Chains A and B, each alone.
Chain A
Amino acid sequence: MKNTFKLGVKDGIPICLGYFSVSFGVGILAIKSGLSALIAVIISATNLTSAGQVAGIGVIAVGGSFIEMILTQLLINCRYSLMALSLSQNLSKSFTLPHRMLAAFGITDEIFGVAASKKEPLTPTYMYGLISISTIGWVAGTFLGAVCGEILPPILTASLGILLYGMFIAIIIPPIRQSKANLTVILLAAFISCMIYYFASWISGGFSIIISAVVAAGIMAYVAPVKEEE
C-alpha cells in the first residue's frame, strides 16, 4: 500500500513543478484583484483548478452575483465530470465510497491525465500520493506568487508557462505508436479546439474543451470502437 503512495508522489512531481509556475500566476492575479495572500491560498487549497479559480477571482473582483459565481464554476469545471466518469471505470476494489468522496477533490486536468494513462486499476493510496504532491505545488506556488510575484525574472516565468502543456504532450503522444485511431482522435480534438479558438472565440475555454473532446471521442467511438477486453 505504501509503495503505491510513493509511486503517486513520483508521478506527481512534474505536475507539482508545473502547478507551481501556473499557480504563481494565480497568486499574482489574486493580489491584483484586491484579495489578500491568505484568501488566495484558501481559494487554491479548496478549489485546485486553474481556469475556475481565475474566473472565480474575476467574479469576486467585480462583485458579481452568487448565481454568476455558480454558473461560471459549473460551465468552466463541468469537464471534470467527464474525467471523473472516465476514471470511475478503472478503480480498484479498495476504492470504497469514502475514498471516492475524498479522492474526487483532486480530479484536475493534469491529475486526470496521469491517472488515466495507468493501465492497472487505481488505488486510493496512489491517488492520494498524486493529489497531495500536486496540491502542495499548487498552494505553495499561489502563496509565493501572492507574496513575491514581481521578483522572478519574466523570462523564467514565461518559460515555465509551457511545462504543463509539455506534460500533456508526453501523455498523448506515446499511444499513437500503438494505433492510428489514437493519433486520429488527438488530431481531431486539436483541430476542433483550434477552429473554436480562431473562429468562435465567444465560446469559453472550458466549454471549448468539452465540445472538442465530446465530438472527437464520439466520432472515434463510432468509427473505431475499441475491442472488447479479454
Chain B
Amino acid sequence: MRLVIYLVLMAGVTYLIRMIPFALFTKKIESRFIKSFLYYVPYAVLSAMTFPAIFYSTGNTLSATIGTIVALILAYFNCSLTTVALSAAVAVLVVLFIV
C-alpha cells in the first residue's frame, strides 16, 4: 500500500509540474524582456544540462572529451541529431577500446 502511495505521489507531482503551466498559459506574452528570456531559456537549459555532465557521461573523461569534440564539430556543420549523437558514441567506443 505504501508503495502505491509513493508511485501516485511521484507520478502526480511530476505531471502537475508539467501540466499546470502548459495547459493554463494560453495567452501570448507581450513583455519584450520575458519573450527574450523564453527565447534564450532552451539554449541555456540544454547547455547547463550538458556541461559539465557530458565529461562524466562515459565513466572515462578522455573518451568523453573526445566524444564531445566530435559532437561539437559535427553539430557546427549542421549534421542531424542522430548523426551527431551516434558519432559521439562511436568515438567514445573507439577510445575506450584503445585505452
Q: Chain A residues in contact with chain B, CB under 8 A?
A: 11, 13-14, 17-18, 39, 42-43, 46-49, 52-53, 56, 59-60, 63, 66, 69-70, 73-74, 77-89, 97, 100-101, 103-105, 107, 109, 112-114, 116-117, 155-156, 158-177, 181-182, 185-190, 192-194, 197-198, 205, 208-209, 212-214, 216-218, 220-222, 224-226, 228
- A56 cross-chain contacts in B, Cβ below 8 A: 6, 10
Task: Indicate if the CB atoms of B75 and A192 lie closer than 8 Å.
Answer: no
What string of 1s and 0s marks CB contacts (under 8 Å) between B67-99 and chain A?
110011011101111111111111011001100
Q: Once the chains are docked, how many angstroms separate the CA of A103 from the CA of B21?
A: 12
Task: Indicate if the CB atoms of B43 and A186 lie closer than 8 Å.
Answer: yes
What string of 1s and 0s marks CB contacts (under 8 Å) between B28-43 and chain A?
1100111111111111
The answer, yes or no, to whether B1 is at the interface (CB within 8 Å) is no
Q: Once the chains are docked, how many angstroms separate the CA of A185 from the CA of B63?
A: 26
Task: Indicate if the CB atoms of A182 and B43 lie closer than 8 Å.
Answer: yes
Task: Indicate if the CB atoms of B18 and A81 lie closer than 8 Å.
Answer: yes
What string of 1s and 0s marks CB contacts (under 8 Å) between B43-79 and chain A?
1111111111110011110011001100110111011
With A117-B42, A161-B58, A217-B40 known as contacts, the answer to whether A155 contacts B50 (CB < 8 A) is: no
Task: Indicate if the CB atoms of A13 and B82 lie closer than 8 Å.
Answer: yes
| In the A-B complex, the 10 residue pairs with the closest CB atoms | A166-B88, A212-B48, A173-B75, A170-B84, A221-B36, A46-B11, A166-B85, A217-B40, A190-B51, A84-B22
Q: Say how far B81's CB is from chain A's closest CB, in angstroms.
A: 4
Task: Indicate if the CB atoms of B88 and A162 lie closer than 8 Å.
Answer: yes
- A226 cross-chain contacts in B, Cβ below 8 A: 32, 35-36, 39
Task: Indicate if the CB atoms of A104 and B86 lie closer than 8 Å.
Answer: no
